[in-house]
Amino acid sequence: MPVTVLLVDDEPLVRTGLRAVLEAQPDIEVVGEAADGAAVIPLVRRLRPDVVAMDVRMPLLDGIDATRALLRSVDAPPKILVVTTFENDEYVYGALRAGADGFLLKRARPAEIVHAVRLVAEGESLLFPASVRRLAAEYGNGGGNRAARAVLERARLTEREREVLRLMARGLTNAEIAARLVVGTETVKSHVSAVLAKLGARDRTQAVIAAYESGFVAPG
Partner DNA sequence: GATCGTCTCCCCCGTGCGGGGGAGACGGGT
Partner DNA sequence: ACCCGTCTCCCCCGCACGGGGGAGACGATC
Binding site for DNA (CB under 7 A): 97, 156, 158-161, 173-175, 178, 181, 183-184, 186-187, 189-193, 196-197, 202-205
Q: Which is nearer to a second copy, 21 or 208 (CB)?
A: 208
Residue 4 site contact among DNA, a second copy, none (CB < 5 to 8 Å, cut-off depends on kind): none
Q: How far apart are CA 22 and CA 28, in angstroms?
A: 6
d(CA 30, CA 22): 7
CA pair distance 184, 187, nearest whole angstrom: 5
Give the separation between CA 146 and CA 107, rounded to whole angstroms: 22
DSSP 80: E
Residue 37 is given by DSSP the state G
- Contact status: 109 vs a second copy (CB under 8 A): no
Nearer to a second copy, 54 or 148 (CB): 148
Q: Is 103 helix (H, G, I), strand (E, B) or coil?
A: strand
The 3-state DSSP class for residue 77 equals coil
How many residues of this chain bind a second copy (CB under 8 A)? 35
Task: Decide whether 49 or 144 has the Cβ nearer to a second copy.
Answer: 144
Count of beta carbons in the 10 Å neighbourhood of residue 148: 24
* Cβ nearer to a second copy, comparing 19 with 162: 162
Decide: is 213 part of the binding site for a second copy (CB under 8 A).
yes
Q: Which residues bind a second copy (CB under 8 A)?
A: 123-126, 129, 133, 136, 141, 144-146, 148, 168-171, 173, 176, 179-180, 201-206, 208-209, 212-215, 218-220
